[in-house]
Amino acid sequence: MWDNLSFVIKRLRERLWIKPLIVCVLSIGAVFLANLMDMAELGHLLPEITKESAETLLKIMASSMLMMATFAVASMVAAYASASSTATPRSFPLIISDDVSQNALSVFIGAFIYSVIALVALMNGLYGGRTSQFILFSLTIVVLAVIIITFIWWVDNIARLGRLGHTIDKVEAAAVEAIRKRQSAPRLGGVASFSLPDGGRAVFGKAIGYVQRVDTAALQARAVESQLRIVVAALPGTFCTPNRPVAWVIRETSGSVSDEDAEAIAATFVIGGSRVFDQDPRFGLVALSEIASRALSPAVNDPGTAIDVTGTLVRLFVMWDECGKEDDVSTVQFDRVAVPELSVADMFDDAFTGIARDGAGAVEVVIRLLKALEALAATEDPAMRDNALRHARLAQVRAEKVLKVPEDLAAVRKAARFAV
């Protein structure tokens, strides 16, 4: 249940209108709550606030907050465009879910709604009592203070939002979260594997797109209810087509798998038009590799960014190795659902193929890549060591096809000696 809720919340955070809507509702509630305070009969204990003073503050807020909200939207759109053009469009959901920018826009719009409604209510005599006028004035002062603090905080953040370094940090943080989550349950809580006899039924997805989430708990519940064994065939990040099954299933007792069971199993696979980072650690590696490849394009010619991304990828793979050794890796929770582990070979291909291909002509990038692969080859994980050596040899071959200067070739061969 918590996983489902977390998935929905993260998707809602990628919608720009959610937080402004919530703040607007709270603002409207605060306006009318002030009027109810007259029932408390506390006017004799509170200082007298003139109607004109509250009206003046509200007019200032009403006239300036809409302009501030427009400015905030324009700045955010520029930051989003910068992130998509200088980094990768795959980073867009991470940038748009930035809490500081969403909070700032929400505060500015909410303050505008609050000031307009409060001003209309004040000018039409809704706040006739001394208590309600004092509460309204106090609320307005508090809103002004929140606006000032939010604006200062947001200006400090908007200077970095959409910048390449900030975007790389965002993608790395999303990849770290996905890696930790996956390594805590390498098979999403399922078993390693079990063989299905001939006659297993293939289950196909209900849409064409990428698997964003697999609800293994729901699969287990259906398997227990109908006496089934299920093998997941499409991990998060897999592109599903009408002829590619998302799962294979067979009934333990006599009889075939019903259409109702097949539809229920297919519904546990959330399929969307794009990949998401939640259950898909490979997507973070792909996004980082795309950032490096774009930096190595002739139009950008920024090998330093590719070198920085290579270091980031090394950190992620070392974290993957360390998290896999931790003692708190969860045991099998769903014994009727088999889920394959992520392929280390596929992860290395996602991370390093693009950098080795596009950076083959930059000797500094090739040498840094080889040193990174040498560090990964020194780990105790046999799969990681073998794939690091494989990619080191491929990087050397690609570089030797492009580099012409003998000294550059000699430097690359020296850096690649560990892979011989």
106-165 pLDDT, tens per residue?
Answer: 888 888 888 888 888 777 776 666 777 777 788 888 888 888 888 888 887 777 776 788
Put the strands of the sheet holding 334-338 in their side by side order: 190-191, 334-338, 228-232, 245-251, 201-204
Length of the chain: 420
Q: Are strands 190-191 and 334-338 parallel, antiparallel or unpaired?
A: parallel
> Which residue has better confidence, 178 or 27?
178
Q: Distance (Å, rounded) from C-alpha 309 to C-alpha 172?
A: 9
Residues 58, 140 contacting (CB under 8 angstroms): yes
Q: Please give the full DSSP string across 30-68, using - where no structure is assigned.
A: HHHHHHHGGGG--GGGS----HHHHHHHHHHHHHHHHHH
pLDDT at residue 42 tops 80: no
Q: Is 41 left (phi over 0), alpha (psi -120 to 50) or beta?
A: left
pLDDT at residue 44 tops 60: no
Residues 229, 250 contacting (CB under 8 angstroms): yes
Q: What is the pLDDT of residue 329?
A: 56
Cα-based distances in Å from 276 to 69, 84, 216, 231, 301: 29, 16, 17, 22, 29
Q: Distance (Å, rounded) from C-alpha 248 to C-alpha 201?
A: 6
Burial class (CB in 10 A: 0-12, 13-18, 19+), 287: buried
Local confidence band at 94 (pLDDT 50, 70, 90 cut-offs) = confident
- What pairs with residue 16 in β-bridges? none
Q: In degrees rounded to 5, what are phi and psi of residue 94?
A: -70, -35
Task: Report which residue type is found at 224.
Answer: V
Q: What is the pLDDT of residue 311?
A: 95
pLDDT at residue 338 tops 60: yes
Q: What is the pLDDT of residue 290?
A: 93
Q: What is the pLDDT of residue 389?
A: 96
Q: What is the pLDDT of residue 8?
A: 62
What's the pLDDT tens digit per position in 220-279?
999 999 899 999 999 999 999 988 999 999 887 777 888 899 999 999 999 998 898 888
What's the pLDDT tens digit per position in 339-373?
988 999 999 999 999 999 999 999 999 999 999 99
Q: What is the pLDDT of residue 16?
A: 62
> Which residue has better confidence, 139 or 51?
139
Residues 399, 358 contacting (CB under 8 angstroms): no
pLDDT at residue 295 tops 60: yes
- What pairs with residue 232 in β-bridges? 247
Residues 144, 108 contacting (CB under 8 angstroms): no
For 198-272, the fitting CATH number among 3.90.1170.30, 3.30.300.180, 3.55.40.20, 3.40.50.300 is 3.90.1170.30
Q: What is the pLDDT of residue 135?
A: 77
pLDDT at residue 46 tops 70: no
> Which residue has better confidence, 44 or 386?
386
The pTM (predicted TM-score) of the whole model is: 0.80
Put the strands of the sheet holding 269-272 in their side by side order: 239-240, 209-214, 269-272
What's the pLDDT tens digit per position in 372-417?
999 999 998 899 999 999 999 999 999 999 999 999 999 999 999 9
Residues 399, 415 contacting (CB under 8 angstroms): no
Task: Quickly tell me which residue has 């001939």 as its tokens.
Answer: 198
pLDDT at residue 89 tops 60: yes
pLDDT at residue 84 tops 90: no
Select from 261, 283, 262 the least CA-distant residue to 272.
283
Radius of gyration of the chain (CA): 28
Q: Distance (Å, rounded) from C-alpha 231 to C-alpha 185?
A: 16
Sequence spans of domains, the chain:
2-162, 198-272, 279-330+342-419
Q: Distance (Å, rounded) from C-alpha 340 to C-alpha 303?
A: 36
Local confidence band at 199 (pLDDT 50, 70, 90 cut-offs) = low
Helix or strand run (H / E) with residue 398:
helix 382-402
Q: What is the pLDDT of residue 48?
A: 67
Token pair for residue 240? 């599903």
pLDDT at residue 328 tops 60: no
Q: Distance (Å, rounded) from C-alpha 373 to C-alpha 357?
A: 15
Q: What is the pLDDT of residue 162?
A: 67
Helix or strand run (H / E) with residue 239:
strand 239-240
